[in-house]
Chains A and B, each alone.
Chain A
Amino acid sequence: MKFVKSSKEELKGATKFLKFFAMTMAIIGGISMVSSAVFAGVSARAFNTTAQSFTSGTLSLTETNQATTGTTNGFSSSFAVTNVAPGDVVNRYFTLTNGGNLAAASMTAQIADTGTISNTVTAASATGGTVTYTYTPVDSSDYLKVGEIVTITGLSTAAFNLAAVAVASATSTQFTVTNAATGTAVTGATGTATVQDRLISDATNGLQFTLSNCSVEWSNTGTCPTATVTAASGTGSVVTYTAANTYVAGDQVSVTGLSGAVTITAISGSGTVVTYSTTNTTGLSAGQSITISGATTAGYNGAKTILAVNAGVSFTVTNATTGATSTATGTYTSGFNLSNLTVATASSTQFTVNNTTVDRAVSVASGTSTPVINGVTIMASVAGPTLQSTAQTLTAASLNLIPGGVNHIKVNMTLPAGSEVVTNGVWPTGTVQGQTALLTLSFIEQLRTNTTTNS
């Protein structure tokens, strides 16, 4: 009987749990599911049969030393820059490519300096929350500065080996830091007090950086180069420009100033229409402006607007002039003046672009090929004392890079003419601030969400 009663109780408990579970499910159903009612087997469904494709994007930034134009492009361990004097300028060239399919926008650049100055510490002692170090600076005329961040190592009293502490006071023989460290005074030591190199650490006096971009490779004279176009012609989908240039495939240029020349063999005026005969009407179209010169009847000369083109025969303009027929020359703006071209191939004497423009060949031309982006300053050091910073972050005004886009970056490093030089006023010596900087350059783009796409 007891067993039966127990079983009943267990059954009762299980029933309660099932009830509770059912109630819970009903609540859940009420919250997140449709009614658990059973439907008849007929359902109506409307759906879009065309699937919507969603694909994530990629952003792939690659920084390489500029490849061809200069002799020592980019940062190179083989070409150290030495003996930099106040007023000196050093340029280095990079190519930045976006190999992804998302646009990079508002990038920042970071110049990091891993150079350090190691001074020998010979003694240390502490009192009243101040640790005093006796040291021999690398350059006695350019010793530690108040505010510099110093790391002390190698002292037998471990408490005095302090990392990343600010110099509170300094002379050419002693410096102090404010620190509660205590311990046995150290003498006759060979410890080290290391500070970050100063060449880029002080934005007022140290190396200043300016980054500029150019859509073609920089010349080795530091300019974003243009080229004089002396001829142009088109065949199929390729336009060829004759120009002494330093371009490489992928450079982006625009061409301006090219004129097409039309040989006019006869001219006749009738009523309000003047007809100019020419066997080559390539590149001419109604509404186009053309300038006529060399006609014996003055009224046939000057700027005209083409009324109609009779292919391979003539073109007409609205003009009431009549007079003797003669030869002349017409000039018009060539269709080979194209913007935002990407150089497909390049040699030192010509370059080609993939373009289907049809026009007559241009020769004896004096056009100009200019970079689409022409040496624009995009980033620069920000003034202000940043003693001992390990990296300077430069913010781009607008360094954007479309997918597949190529930017050529010039890093201009200048040690200002007024850069700090230490003289102690007693003995006649001076040292340009800092020792050696070991620089790295990186471009950073924080991936962002795209804007809402409604279509």
Chain B
Amino acid sequence: MNSGNRRLRRTAILVALLTGVPMAVVHAGPTARALNVTKQNVTSGTYELTAVATSSSPDTHASYTLIVASNAIGYYAIRNFGTLSVNSFSLIGSTSTAMRYCMNQAFQSGSQTRCADGSYSPRITIGAYPTQTTMATALAPGGYLTLSETSTSSVNDVITIAVSRAQIVTNGTRNS
């Protein structure tokens, strides 16, 4: 039995050698690839308008509550903390209030109607929630408005700012 197996093995080897049984080789699918190895860095911008106590206040990432005593003047600022410019934005107050504002500057000391450079401060009326009052005022990154609010009675006015994507100034097409 063993010698028979040996013979069979020998025969099998001989058969394999003589007939040249091909090896089953699996090939990977060849691929031609052209690759640009230099990576392109693309970073999105941010827009972030926040109401803060003064133009130099840090970003609170929150709405701002302006507390005004009766017949007093309250001041606050809206600053663009983002990296993108906006061409307008909307203000929402918890109460309807008349305000004045100065662009990128403070009010003249002791005056609500004059800005620091002597120009008159425009007057606007902010509607109460849910009314959104659109401010057609472009704000570049770092830009701000200083606002004043006079109330005939003590009030806590919660000021919220809304910006839609359509109000962002795009960079247009960049070819280089």
Taking beta carbons and an 8 Å cutoff, which residues of A are in contact with B?
13, 17, 20-21, 24-25, 28, 31-32, 59-65, 70-77, 79-92, 94, 96, 100, 104, 114, 139-141, 199, 207, 220-222, 413, 415, 417-419, 421, 423, 426-447
Contacts and interface: CB of A to CB of B under 8 A. Distances in A.
B152 interface: no
Interface string B60-94: 11110000000000000000011110000100000
Given A32-B19, A63-B34, A77-B39, A89 B174 contact: yes
Given A429-B48, A431-B44, A440-B36, 7 more contacts: A21-B11, A63-B36, A77-B38, A79-B176, A85-B169, A87-B170, A442-B35
Contacts of A74: 36, 38
B171 A444 contact: no
A443 B34 contact: yes
A432 B44 contact: yes
Given A65-B36, A91-B173, A432 B46 contact: yes
B56 interface: no
A373 B30 CA distance: 29
Interface string B156-176: 000011110110111111111
Contacts of A83: 43-45, 83-84, 171
Given A24-B11, A24-B14, A85-B168, A426 B40 contact: no
A75 B33 contact: no
Contacts of B173: 88-91, 222
Contact of B36 (A81, A91, A441): A441
A427 B31 contact: no
Contacts of B50: 427-429
Nearest to A414: B173
B62 A426 contact: yes
Contacts of B19: 28, 31-32
B137 to A, nearest CB: 14
Contacts of B174: 81, 88-91
B15 A28 contact: yes
A20 B165 contact: no
Given A428-B49, A428-B163, A429-B49, A82 B34 contact: no
The 10 A-B pairs at the shortest CB distance, nearest first, are namely: A428-B161, A83-B45, A63-B34, A75-B40, A61-B34, A80-B41, A87-B170, A432-B44, A442-B35, A429-B48
A417 B166 CA distance: 8
A437 B41 contact: yes
B15 A207 contact: no
A428 B63 contact: yes
A428 B47 CA distance: 9
A59 B32 contact: yes
Nearest to B38: A75
B25 interface: no
A393 to B, nearest CB: 12
A106 to B, nearest CB: 12
A88 B175 CA distance: 11
Contact of A82 (B39, B43, B175): B43
B33 A444 contact: yes
23 contacts: A21-B14, A77-B40, A80-B43, A84-B44, A84-B45, A85-B47, A90-B42, A140-B61, A413-B42, A426-B62, A427-B61, A427-B160, A428-B50, A428-B160, A430-B47, A430-B48, A430-B82, A430-B163, A439-B41, A441-B36, A445-B33, A446-B30, A447-B29
Contacts of A76: 38, 40
Given A28-B19, A440-B36, A84 B43 contact: yes
B93 to A, nearest CB: 12
Contacts of A445: 31-33
A90 B173 CA distance: 6
